[in-house]
Amino acid sequence: MDDNRIVTGFVVGLGYTKPYLSPFEEFQRYKMHPEVRKFLEGGRRLSYGARAIAAVGLMSLPKLVFPGGALVGNEAGFSTLRASRVLTAQSKRARWERRRPSMRFKRDASATNWIRILKHAQSNHEMLKPASECRKIDYPKPDGKLTFDRLSSVFLSYTNHDDNQPAHLTLKDPAVPTNVNLRHYAGSESRYCPAGVYEFVETGDGHERLVINAQNCVHCKTCDIKLPTQNIVWVPPEGGGGPNCTDM
């Protein structure tokens, strides 16, 4: 990467509660901050991408080793991990187990002490409040120089899926998007998706329906994590399709 190229990133915790919040729009607003803007003004947008990352603390780490393999890096939930020496998978597991928050107690008078790992009280998809309890967020329109719309950004992710492949995004119940998500959460999937995959459109009879633009999907997996009803089924697409952010 040459010295004149800047990678700008923005992280939104998916435990947010406001259904009107749009992580993509928050990123655009972030770039308008004077301390960020001064580095980006006069530049040219080259690439775009989005991804859900595991960065939720020691108490959420999975079991790190299993017969024949181990989880490392982002797959294991390590945002950053610096080691002063090479560690075996078993020693890594022991190190992280010692650092996890835990509580010890006895199951009964004869049982030995054992460890129960603390867990989050709620999952990310359980955190959204009803739209009736929240104010709408008025995001500024993109200026095309420093801030941009989602679809032109997705174009620069070089995403491609074969038109004739089976859909990799499906619904468990087609009625849920309008009957539940749109009615109670103002169609939050139309905002939390950073690629404009989920879109509510008018049907002509005064109603709306959900359209899934799977071709836009940048494989961030946010829909699989954040949707309150857990009604979306995300599977890897056939043929190796997806984003190809060559400049990132």
Instruction: Give the per-residue pLDDT at 224.
Output: 93
**What DSSP character marks residue 183?**
H
Cα–Cα distance list, 232 to 84, 119, 135, 180, 220 (Å): 42, 24, 26, 13, 14
Instruction: Give the per-residue pLDDT at 56.
Output: 54
Enter the tokens of residue 169: 């995004």
Gap between the Cα atoms of 187 and 191, Å rounded: 8
Instruction: Give the per-residue pLDDT at 105.
Output: 41
Gap between the Cα atoms of 18 and 28, Å rounded: 18
Q: Are 232 and 171 in contact (CB under 8 A)?
A: yes
Q: Are 125 and 230 in contact (CB under 8 A)?
A: yes
Instruction: Give the per-residue pLDDT at 201.
Output: 95
Cα 220 to chain centroid distance, Å, stands at 5
Instruction: Give the per-residue pLDDT at 53.
Output: 81
CA dihedral 153, 155, 156, 161 (to 10 degrees): 130
Gap between the Cα atoms of 161 and 244, Å rounded: 11
Instruction: Give the per-residue pLDDT at 4.
Output: 77
User: Could you tell me which of 52, 119, 47, 50 has the C-alpha nearest to residue 79?
Assistant: 52
User: Could you tell me which of 7, 24, 10, 62 has the C-alpha nearest to residue 147?
Assistant: 24
In order of their start, the domains of the chain are 23-53+131-240 (3.30.70.20), 58-117 (no CATH)
Instruction: Give the per-residue pLDDT at 206.
Output: 84
Instruction: Give the per-residue pLDDT at 130.
Output: 97
> From the first residue on, what is the mean pLDDT of each consecutive set of 10 residues in the chain (248 residues)?
74 94 96 94 92 70 83 68 50 59 45 51 91 96 95 93 87 96 96 96 90 94 95 88 74
Gap between the Cα atoms of 39 and 29, Å rounded: 15
Gap between the Cα atoms of 21 and 103, Å rounded: 36
Gap between the Cα atoms of 170 and 166, Å rounded: 10
